[in-house]
Amino acid sequence: MLQYFRINDPYRLLGVLVIMLLIGLPLLIDSPGMTYPELKNLVVGEKVHNGSALYTELVDSGGPLAGWFNGLLDMVFGRSLLARHILAFIVIFFQASYLGIVFANKKAFSENTYIPSLLFAIFSFFSFDTLSLTPELLGSGFLLLALSNLFTEIEFRAQRNETIFNLGLYIGLASLFSFSYSVYLIGALIVLIIFTRHTSRKYVLLVVGFFIPHFFLMTVYYLKEGLSELWQYYYLPNLGFHATNYVSSGSLWFLSAVPLFFLVVSLVMLNRDARFTKYQSQLVQSMFLWMIFSILQVFYSKDWRPQSFITLIPSLSFFIAQFLLLIRRRKFAEINTWVMLVSVVSICYLARYDNIGSVNYTRLFVPDPPALPQATRVLVLDDDWSVYKQHPLGSAFFNWTLSKDIFAHAEYYDNVIQVYEGIKSDPPSVIRDKNNLFGPFLERIPEFKKMYVRKGEYYTTVSN
């Protein structure tokens, strides 16, 4: 198999597609169920599709490009998870292909090969949830574009202003999908400082390229009089260091054990036996720094789950491909590839069907919610939002971490106005309120007091 991908022929990428189909088709046929990140994308997509503006009419901290893209998906596919999984599969294939083409064009290896594309495809299936169309997956495509421009900057033959500007621009666009990708701006700056002889003007150009999408976003919200909401609900929450742990650290270590083992072996072998040109040596060191910042990005991300590690896959593919090409006896390189493939896929499927005690996906899956009275559109005033699996969100209050301070302080006039406008724009038929946070607002909003009546822990609309 490895010999097939060593040949410099773009049609070999069809082989990558065939291998991905063989690995991923069972996951597409037998879907493991909805995960919380997927549910979040569905809810946000429905609200955006129905005309709610992010941050001003929907309280959430997700990236704006991710929200708008989810709105487009909701318009085309509705709540179909299968359609999203198929689209995620296509995105992964194109990313694997593009990475191999970039490495070949930049002469990153001793021979032009599509082995990195093969490895990218294999590692993309180290866990079933990587086959989800999330902001992280979409944003990682822009990071690959940024990586290509970074290689171009390191190569002395092409150092144009537009290249370094595009490098910053792509990282900026990626950060509008997932804000944690902003750390790559610092990584790109460090790589350029170490391996290029640019003037300070070019570093400024990189930073300007990064901030252009953000300035454009701020301008749009300023004209809509929503700049304060943009800062309060997008930038401010994402600047903090907090994360939701959907999978334990032990589970993540077990799932990534095989790629990490081959990475360590590759780094040791490259340090001992590799012979690179000066340019290739610079690329190796640059990829190592890129990998370090990928690790920092994972720790900075807001969701702790297997798919959070997809930004490490390009670095893994690069170093392990170097290791496989370094093996003189091609039979041994072939054996290593098959061991890697079988091990990664086996762990993925054993964990998927809960046959590995060390891997627990329980917190990642959305459980079936209890039945609600007269439920069409629902508002949940607590942090258990699994009810949105069966019912669409009513009102503007989705992210409870951001919304709870509003509902906890009914004595503030601004909060009363925000609750009134947020519910009036899209009234829910059922409000789950375990702690009676909505009650004080009813005393201050007579219109709502006539609309809702409390039944246990629920507020339901008054029947005419």
**Cα 258 to Cα 263: distance, rounded to the nearest angstrom:** 9
Cβ neighbors of 404 (< 8 A, separation 6 or more) are: 381, 437
> Are both 343 and 417 inside the same structural domain?
no
Q: Choose the weakest-confidence range: 6-10, 57-61, 350-354.
A: 6-10
Regarding whether 311 and 239 lie in a shared domain, the answer is: yes
DSSP per residue over 303-357, as a string? EESGGGGGGGHHHHHHHHHHHHHH-SSHHHHHHHHHHHHHHHHHHHHHHHTT--T
Do 136 and 189 belong together in one domain?
yes
Give tens-digit pLDDT for 198-242.
778 888 999 999 999 999 999 999 998 889 999 999 999 998 877
Domain total for the chain? 2
* pLDDT tens string 97-121: 999 999 888 887 777 888 899 999 9
Q: Do residues 343 and 385 share a domain?
A: no
Dihedral angle computed from the Cα positions of residues 142, 50, 39 and 369, in that order, rounded to the nearest 10 degrees:
180
pLDDT at residue number 291: 93
The answer to whether residue 372 sits within a structural domain is no
Write down which residue in 352, 368, 390 finishes a domain: 352
Beta strands 303-304 and 244-245, pairing class: parallel
Domain-located, residue 368: no
DSSP tag of 231: I
pLDDT number for residue 203: 87
Is residue 115 included in any domain, yes or no? yes
Residue 435 and residue 344 share a domain:
no
CA distances from 9 to 1, 15, 110, 224, 319 (A): 14, 11, 16, 51, 21
When comparing pLDDT for 462 and 307, which is higher? Answer: 307
- Decide if 342 is inside a domain: yes
Please indicate, yes or no, whether residues 13 and 132 belong to a single structural domain of this protein: yes
Calculate ∠ Cα 389-392-396, nearest 5°.
120
Chain mean pLDDT for the chain: 87
- Indicate if 319 and 260 belong to the same structural domain: yes
**136 and 236 together in one domain:** yes
- Is the pLDDT score of 33 beyond 60? yes
In this prediction, residue 30 has a pLDDT band, given cuts at 50, 70 and 90, of confident
Report pTM: 0.91
pLDDT in the model for residue 47: 92
For residues 353-364, one letter each, b for 16 or more C-beta atoms within 10 angstroms of the residue's C-beta and e for the rest, the string is eeebeebebeeb
348 lies in the same domain as 396: no
What whole-number distance in Å separates Cα of residue 95 and Cα of residue 131? 13
Residue 155 belongs to a domain:
yes
Tell me the three state secondary structure of residue 460: strand
- DSSP-derived letter for residue 246 is S
Among candidate residues 318, 352, 386, the one where a domain is terminated: 352
450 & 328 share domain: no
At 460 the pLDDT is 86
- What tens digit of pLDDT does each residue of 34-43 get? 899 999 999 9
Q: Render pLDDT for 362-375 as a digit per residue (tens, 0 to 9).
A: 888 888 877 776 66
Q: Which domain holds residue 384?
A: 378-461
- In this predicted structure, the answer to whether residue 141 has a pLDDT above a threshold of 90 is yes
Q: What is the reported pLDDT for 374?
A: 65
Residue 294 lies in a domain: yes
Number of residues that make up the chain: 464
pLDDT at residue 274 in the model: 66
Clarify whether residues 387 and 266 are in a common domain: no
339: in domain? yes
What is the DSSP code string of 182-215? Answer: GHHHHHHHHHHHHH----HHHHHHHHHHHHHHHH
- What does the pLDDT look like over 405-439, one tens digit per residue? 899 888 888 889 999 998 988 888 888 888 888 88
Token output for 432: 């789950």
Please check whether residue 326 is in contact with residue 269, taking contact to mean a CB–CB distance below 8 angstroms. Answer: yes
- Tell me what pLDDT residue 198 has: 75
Each residue's pLDDT tens digit, 309-344? 999 999 999 999 888 888 777 788 788 888 889 999
Q: Which of 352, 369, 393 is the last residue of a domain?
A: 352
| Strand 244-245 with 452-455, pairing | unpaired
pLDDT band at 95 (very low <50, low <70, confident <90, very high): very high
Answer yes or no: is 7 within a domain.
Answer: yes
- For residues 247, 253, 255, 259, the Cα torsion angle rounded to the nearest 10 degrees is 140
Residues 63 and 186 in one domain: yes
pLDDT at 97: 92
Q: Which residue has the tokens 């509003």?
A: 406
Residue-wise pLDDT for 158-209, tens only, equals 557 788 899 999 999 999 999 999 999 999 999 988 888 777 888 899 999 9
